[in-house]
Amino acid sequence: MAEYLTLFISAVIVNNFVLTRFLGLCIFFGVSKNLSASLGMGMAVTAVITLSSTLAWLVYNLVLVPLHLTFLTTVVFVVLIASFVQLLEMVTKKFTPALYNMWGIYLLLIATNCVVLGVPLINVESNFSLAKSVVHTIGAGVGFAVAITLMASLREKLILADVPKPLEGLGVAFILAGMLALSFLGFSGMIAI
C-alpha cells in the first residue's frame, strides 16, 4: 500500500509531468488563461490518460512483448491513443451530453498530445504492473491538473499586473512557468523510486 502511495505522490508532485518533465506544455500554455477551462482540461486529461494508458499497457504486454515487437511501441501507442480518444469522444457525445459539453472541445486537443503519449511509454519502460501503472497514470493526471490550475490562477492575477510591453502575454507566462518549475524542483529527492 505504501508503495502505491509513494508512486502516486511522486507522480503528482516530485515528478510532475508538466513542471519537472516538461511534457504537455502546449495545452499547459494554451488552456491556462482562465480557471474554469483549465479545471475542465485537467479532468479531461486525467480521464483520457487513465483509460488510454491502461489499454496501452494491455496491448504492450499481451501483444507486443510476446511477439518481440517492443521496438514498435511508440508507433502502436500513437495509433492506439488517437483512435481511442476519437472513440471516447463519440461515446461521451452519445451517452453523457453534459460531460461532452464540458470536455468536448478539449478531447481532440489531447488526441496527439505528448503527455498522453508520454505517460504510457514511461509506464512500460519502468516495467510497472497493471495496478502500479494505473496508480502512476492517475497521479500523472492529477499532477497535470494541479499544474494547470496553479498556472491559470496565476495568469488570472497577471492580467492586472503592469507587465513590460515586450513580455506581455506568452512571454511573461513562460517566465511564470519557469518559476513554478523551479519551486517544484524543490521537491526532487524527497521520494526516490
Partner 1 sequence: MQTALLVLTVMLLTGIVFGFILAYANKKFAVEVNPLIHLVEDALPKGQCGACGYAGCAAYAEAVVLNPDVPPNLCVPGKGPVADVVAELTGKTAPPVEPRIAHIRCAGSMGKAVAKYQYFGVEDCVAANLLQGGQKSCIYGCLGFGTCVKNCPFGAMTLLPEGLPYVDPEKCTGCGKCETVCPKNVIEMLPLGAKVSVNCNSKDKGAVAKKNCSAACLGCGLCKKNCPHDAITIVNNLATVDHKICIEKCDNPTCIAKCPTKAIEAVVKEHVVEKVAV
Given the complex with partner 1, which of 100 and 128 has the nearer CB atom?
Answer: 100
Compute the least distance from the CB of residue 86 to partner 1, in Å.
6
Contacts of residue 6, Cβ cutoff 8 Å, sequence gap at least 6: 191, 193
Compute the least distance from the CB of residue 187 to partner 1, in Å.
35
Locate all alpha helices (DSSP H) within 96-129, ordered by sequence.
Answer: 97-110, 114-125
Given the complex with partner 1, which of 84 and 187 has the nearer CB atom?
Answer: 84
Compute the least distance from the CB of residue 141 to partner 1, in Å.
23
Can you tell me which residue has the cell 480557471? Answer: 35
- H or E element: which one contains 178? helix 170-185
Compute the least distance from the CB of residue 132 to partner 1, in Å.
25
In one letter, which amino acid is 55?
Answer: L
In one letter, which amino acid is 34?
Answer: N
Given the complex with partner 1, which of 7 and 124 has the nearer CB atom?
Answer: 124
Site residues for partner 1 per CB under 8 A:
63, 67-69, 72, 75-76, 79-80, 83, 86-87, 90-91, 93-95, 160, 162
Can you tell me which residue has the cell 510476446? Answer: 66
- Whether the CB-CB separation of 138 and 47 falls below 8 Å is answered with no
Given the complex with partner 1, which of 58 and 75 has the nearer CB atom?
Answer: 75
Given the complex with partner 1, which of 26 and 90 has the nearer CB atom?
Answer: 90
Compute the least distance from the CB of residue 58 to partner 1, in Å.
13
Contacts of residue 78, Cβ cutoff 8 Å, sequence gap at least 6: 112, 117
